[in-house]
Structure 1
Amino acid sequence: MTYPAITQGQLWKAVSPVGADEATVVILEALPGMLGRRRLLAARVRPDREVPSAMKLLTVPLDEGLVIAAYDIAAFDKGWLKEPSGQLTTAQLDRLKVALRARFNL
C-alpha cells in the first residue's frame, strides 16, 4: 500500500516499536531537509478531557472531543508512521501555528 508524501498538518497513526504504543500525531515540520532525516517533529493528539486546564490555550480542537496538544511535541521516527488518518483544515493549521508561537514565546 502506498501512502501520500508526508506534509505539514497531516494526521498519522504512529506505533512505537517499544511497547507497541500507538498514538495519533500531527506532522509539524515537513521541509525537504527535515524529510531527509529519520525523525520528524510532531504533536500528539489527545482527548480534550485529559488536557490540564493550564494547557488549554496550547491546544487546537479537532473532531469528537480530540485536540492537538501543542505542548506535547516530540521527534517521531518516520518508520513509526503507519497510516495517514487525515489532514488539518487551513483554519486548524493556522490555529496550530498560533499555538506553537505561544508555546515557544515567539
Structure 2
Amino acid sequence: MTTPYRLVMTTCGTHAQAQDIARQLVANKQAACVNILPNVESIYVWQGEVTQDSEYKLMIKTHVDLVEAVMETIHRLHQYDVPEIQVIEVCAGSRDYFNWIDEVLN
C-alpha cells in the first residue's frame, strides 16, 4: 500500500540555509512541515577526497504532486553544487496527520 504523501530529505551546511529552504517551502505551500535535525555528521567522497562535515538534515513532508516543485526550490536555494535530494514514499501513517497535510497544502 502507498499514499500520495512523500518525505523529501536534503542536507545543508548551515542552520541559516536550512531555515531559509524550510521557510520557503512552507510559505509557498510546497511542504506542510519541515523538520531540521542538527548535528548530522556526513562522511562522503567529493572531488576524489574523503570529506567529513557537520550538516543539518531537512525532513520535508509533502504531497506527490508537489515533489518536483520542492526539488526545484531546493536546487534554486541550495549552496551545494550537488545537493542531496531523496524522495521516500510514505506507505502508511496517521489519517489525522494526512488530513492536516491536505488542509495545509490546499
TM-score of the superposition, structure 1-length normalised?
0.31
More helix by percentage: 2
Structure with greater Cα Rg: 2
